[in-house]
Structure 1
Amino acid sequence: MESINRIHHISAIVGNPKENVRFYETILGLRLVKQTVNFDDPQTYHLYFGNEQAEPGTIITFFPWDTTSRGRVGSGQVGRIAFRVPKGSLAYWNKRLTSFNVSFEISQLFGKTTLLFNDSHGLDIALVEGEEMNGYQIMGFHGAVLLSSQPKDTMQTLRDDLGLSVVSEDSDAYHAETIGKEKHHIVIPKERLPRGRFGVGTVHHIAWSVPDDETHRIWQDYLYEEKYQVTEIKDRQYFKAIYFIEKGNIVFELATDKPGFTINESLDHLGEKLMLPPQYEHMQSQLEKSLLPLR
């Protein structure tokens, strides 16, 4: 099997959509690359943020359920989401977060200086320096923390099934990396938290990137043969997706890099309008009136 090269996207549950846009667009400087709706609940937004080119490996998505109760972060979930920023830029981000009254602390969670903070709905976020680049803009993901109910088994899944490289192991956590140029860093704490509950302020799933439909089908067959309860292939309009729950009860997705976010909007105008899946296009006028404004 061809190993997983990178994270494709991470999807989380948040509250008010206007607050969500303000935090990720205004404070963190990410680009809103797609505003659409939940495939299973068209009365709810599905918002995608990423870099200017809307590339896999930079995309964080949100289900803003303004009426949903708070979740409980715990085992069987993705924990803290880490973004990568240019080398030497943490002083800038220190000042920027302070200017927006965002409290933060400094740790060594990802093996180097890491700014830890929460978004407007309590989601755990981090910033970690990467390679040298001009400016201070978020470059994409640095990695994520996986809160497994079976940390050793989750590490084995990442290593033996998905092909990630083992970086290190200490008394507190396992550390792994994807094999692509992004080298996304995955931390699996050995401490087992009580079981999490999905709701506002929690991550629903992490998606791993596969290059094309043929590779996607091969992965589906492989996971089935390895006794994972993998789903049928789902058309998510901007990528194809399969889902399975790994041995530590975390929802994993494998998502294709294509067709991408420019299939129904040009790159220059991504995220400017509500774009609906074909099955909901007849509801365009109704949804534009009922969905809360984003700005």
Structure 2
Amino acid sequence: MTDKAIPGLHHVTAISGPPQANVDFFTGVLDQRLVKRTVNFDDPGTYHLYYGDHEGSPGTILTFFPFVGAGRGSAGAGMASAYSYAVPKGRFDDWIHRLDDLDFAHEAPAERFGARVLTLHDPDGAPVELIETDRAGDGTMLDGFHSVTLWLRDIGPTAKLLTEVMGYEEAGHETVDGTERLRLRAPGDARGAIVELMRREGAGIGRQGAGSIHHVAFRAESDAVQLDWRERLLRAGMQVTPVIDRQYFNAIYFREPGGVLFEIATDPPGFAADEPVETLGRDLKLPPQYEAYRARIEQVLPPLKVPA
């Protein structure tokens, strides 16, 4: 049994419409690197695209299943409703100027837990939040994830799981215009250390589709730590899958009490397991079981243009 807390987010996986618009937005407007282009392991006729920092570090990774004909989804109770990027100290106003220079629409800055928040929307209408922090950056305009928001009908059971089992600590509580937020923080200074639990009056029914979040993945530093977490979660009454090999990490999945799909993913082997860091995301990478079908898969997948 591990006595450690979860250090923070590993990745967030969402659903989008056509892949080219998705690539253009995340590599262009948000200046993220496409660190891996592969396929949905359960549907190899669909891409699985991963964006992150230059090295593809845990805590920076946003992934998409881009379905060309996907219907529009919408967030609702029992779903993750938003992910937020951390804006390094002193760069928040730079983001406003950048978006204005690009003539890219965004909402007026708001305040949450004493920090400024800038919200824009991706090509499928999903909110993308940029949150001001006091953390120094490394010269980039975003420093991986700040947080993820879970929309729940009842905050209590999910908060109990995150605090009593996964090691999070309460870090703030506020209610603004009928929206209640409980902020939880993982110990330490890893990226993506914050989870916010949100309850809103008159919550509608969510629907998976383009513009919705599929699941939220937390970090395990090693395979052994992941197995410890699996045992702990089983003892807590969660129905947890066996370990699944996702080529760049191993994964276990379960639904938390509010209905959101959670994953715990290992840091190793990482996205440089099958290509050098210098060329991450340049070529289509397939898991071994699909390599024999590469020619057929490449004919089905739409072509992608990715900035150098």
TM range (shorter): over 0.9
| CA–CA separation in structure 2 for the residues paired with 1:279 and 1:180 | 38
| CA–CA separation in structure 2 for the residues paired with 1:14 and 1:212 | 30
| Aligned residue among 182, 185, 190 for 1:177 | 185
Q: What is the identity, as a one-letter code, of the residue corresponding to 2:47?
A: Y
Across the two proteins, how many residue pairs are aligned to each other? 295
- Contact kept? 1:85, 1:136, Cα under 8 Å: no
Mark the runs of 5 or more structure 2 residues left unpaired by the alignment: none
Q: What is the identity, as a one-letter code, of the residue corresponding to 1:272?
A: R
Q: What is the identity, as a one-letter code, of the residue corresponding to 1:50?
A: G
SS at 1:274 equivalent: coil
Q: Shift of residue 20 of structure 1?
A: 0.4
| CA–CA separation in structure 1 for the residues paired with 2:138 and 2:242 | 42
| Aligned residue among 41, 44, 47 for 1:42 | 44
SS at 1:3 equivalent: coil
- Contact kept? 1:149, 1:195, Cα under 8 Å: no
The answer to whether structure 1 residue 162 and structure 2 residue 172 are counterparts is no
| Aligned residue among 111, 120, 138 for 2:114 | 111
**What residue in structure 1 maps to residue 215 of structure 2?**
205
| Aligned residue among 96, 99, 102 for 1:100 | 102
**What residue in structure 1 maps to residue 126 of structure 2?**
123
| CA–CA separation in structure 1 for the residues paired with 2:50 and 2:113 | 25
| CA–CA separation in structure 2 for the residues paired with 1:268 and 1:81 | 27
**What residue in structure 1 maps to residue 139 of structure 2?**
135
Moved more, 270-279 or 221-230: 221-230
- Contact kept? 2:8, 2:194, Cα under 8 Å: no
**What residue in structure 2 maps to residue 190 of structure 1?**
199
- Contact kept? 2:14, 2:65, Cα under 8 Å: yes
Identity of aligned residues (%): 37
| CA–CA separation in structure 1 for the residues paired with 2:172 and 2:144 | 23
- Alignment deviations for residues 64-106 of structure 1 (CA, whole Å, 9 cap, x no partner): 0111111121011111110012211112111221233322221
**What residue in structure 2 maps to residue 18 of structure 1?**
20
Q: What is the identity, as a one-letter code, of the residue corresponding to 2:52?
A: G
CA RMSD of aligned residues (A): 1.4
Output aligned runs, 1:1-295, within 5 Å: 1-105=3-107, 106-130=109-133, 131-133=135-137, 135-171=139-175, 172-182=180-190, 184-191=193-200, 193-295=203-305
SS at 1:42 equivalent: strand
SS at 1:190 equivalent: strand
- Contact kept? 2:137, 2:143, Cα under 8 Å: no
SS at 1:11 equivalent: strand
TM-score (norm 2): 0.92
When residues 195 and 148 of structure 1 are mapped into structure 2, their CA distance, relative to the original with a 3 A threshold, is: same
- Contact kept? 1:142, 1:185, Cα under 8 Å: yes
Moved more, 278-287 or 176-185: 176-185
Mark the runs of 5 or more structure 1 residues left unpaired by the alignment: none
| CA–CA separation in structure 2 for the residues paired with 1:229 and 1:176 | 23
- Contact kept? 1:229, 1:245, Cα under 8 Å: yes
Q: What is the identity, as a one-letter code, of the residue corresponding to 1:123?
A: A
TM-score (norm 1): 0.96
| CA–CA separation in structure 2 for the residues paired with 1:134 and 1:199 | 35
Q: Shift of residue 136 of structure 1?
A: 4.4
| CA–CA separation in structure 2 for the residues paired with 1:27 and 1:256 | 29
Moved more, 225-234 or 132-141: 132-141
- Contact kept? 1:150, 1:247, Cα under 8 Å: no
Q: What is the identity, as a one-letter code, of the residue corresponding to 1:20?
A: N
Q: What is the identity, as a one-letter code, of the residue corresponding to 1:220?
A: R
| CA–CA separation in structure 2 for the residues paired with 1:2 and 1:129 | 28
| CA–CA separation in structure 2 for the residues paired with 1:108 and 1:132 | 20
SS at 2:200 equivalent: coil
- Alignment deviations for residues 198-254 of structure 1 (CA, whole Å, 9 cap, x no partner): 100000011000011111111111111111111111100000000000011011100
